[in-house]
Amino acid sequence: MSLNILSIAGSDPSGGAGIQADLKTIAACGGYGMSVITALTAQNTQGVRAVHAIEPEFVGEQLRAVSEDVRIDAVKIGMLSNAAVIAQVADWLAHIEAPVVLDPVMIATSGDSLLDADATAALQQLLPRATVLTPNIDELAALSGQPVPERWEEVIELARQLADRHDVLVVAKGGHLNSSSCPDALVGAYGVLAEYSSPRIDTTHTHGTGCTLSSALATYYAATSDWSQALEMAKSYLSEAISGAASLQVGSGHGPVDHLGALHRAADSQSGDPMLEWWERIADIRAQIDDLEFIRQLANGKLPRADFDYYINQDALYLRTYAKVLARASEISSDIEAQRFWAIGCTSILDGEMELHRGFLPHFSDTPSETTLNYVNHLSSCTANYSELIAAILPCYWIYQDVGQRLAAASHPEHPYAAWLAEYSSPEFDAATTKAIDLVRAAWRRADAATRQRMWLAFERSSRHELYFFAQAAARVE
């Protein structure tokens, strides 16, 4: 079933922000985009020259025309231009049950103001009708009536206050801070619900990043019903769109991001091997895994037994859900050979790997860590679509095999964890990994562009969970 996402926003004739960016983002993230235009702008990558507001009554007519005929799975709201338009949107929202992502577009990337004083005041009345707010730092300060924050902790606190005041969730964004990373957090009235960070990308291609993130967030929430997961997926999508923007040649100011970059790269790799491309795209994640103290100590045999036991315990808890996920892959596959492969994988976990775990740790705690829960919840969220599910499963084979080969090379008969190292470097596991890669590759070949994008995001997210999973033993608090 398609996901119908409605964008209510202004138009950007240069294509990098507003309705144009929203529709491209929604399509790239797997949704069907619809639009209600609230304002026309004369702008380009260098700035906004003029704004022409659409008649408020006509905005209302657009809204009613769409909602009376089409199921709406999520709403993204951007530029609203004036108080009368905001009133029309607020009245319409009173009759809509879909989740609402409100990007309070007040200040453009160029620094231009996009709302007059009356509209800024009216916007405050609209905030409680939203589900999630996605202001940038300047907009967060304006909505809070506070100075622009300079530290991440101050951003979080302003977001928490805003969430508490209006009974909404707030995405705190740190992209405008002077730091080497770009943090984002999902914040509620009682504090941070989820927090993510990524390296800062040195680029001038930032036009429309707020529009893009909020549209991706609305689309991914419609698909997952999980705001934390949707934010992580949206942030990953935006990072990739920014990374690929240098290939665009649009304007001489703040250029747009490459909204369809992932789809273009997928098309370019039709004649090549998409799996090798995926593997190269997670090279940084793989390098971070290799650099973990846990992995280095596991290789040289100096890993404290308490750390190993903690890891073994969490792995056993993870495998309980992982076995169910493999069984689900077998159940929903339409190919007999694939059904047999995933079923055998499930059986080998229950009959083989769990016994290996018990050999090291006879008694397990039944309390999964937050890291373990996040990983299994991610896998479980992918079980509705076979192609997306097996893409999410693949890193557990492929990364384990990759790491296991180097760990096995360091093993010796007196190594305290020799039996563990041997399990993931066996010819049988190598063959299973190759088969898993082949099945995902085949599913990718059959998939449409939107499904391929979801497959990549599921694979990339699982790869990050592998990193966090390896790192958790050393990071735990006794």
Catalytic residues: 173, 206, 208-211
Tokens 């577009």, residue? 105
346: which residues sit within 8 A by CB, 6+ positions away?
A: 323, 324, 326, 327, 330
Are residues 172 and 156 in contact, defined by beta-carbon separation less than 8 angstroms?
A: yes
Task: Please name the amino acid found at residue 194.
Answer: A
Q: How many separate helices (H) and strands (E) can be counted in the chain?
A: 20, 9
CB 223 within 8 A of CB 211: no
Cα dihedral 433, 282, 285, 467, rounded to 10, equals -40
Side chain identity, residue 406:
R
- The alpha carbon of residue 64 and the mean position of all alpha carbons in its chain are separated, in whole angstroms, by 31
Nearest to 394 by CA among 438, 353, 437: 437
Number of neighbouring beta carbons within 10 Å of residue 120: 16
The tokens of 255 are what?
């250029």
Q: Where does residue 355 rank: exposed (0-12), middle (13-18), buried (19+ CB within 10 A)?
A: exposed
111: alpha, beta or left, given left = phi > 0 and alpha = psi -120 to 50?
A: left
Least Cα distance to 233 among 462, 466, 474 occurs for 462
From CA 281, how far away is CA 303, in angstroms rounded? 30
- Determine the Cα–Cα distance for residues 388 and 386; give it in Å rounded to an integer: 6
Calpha distance 239→258 (Å, rounded): 10
Separation between Cα atoms, residue 413 and residue 80, nearest integer Å: 69
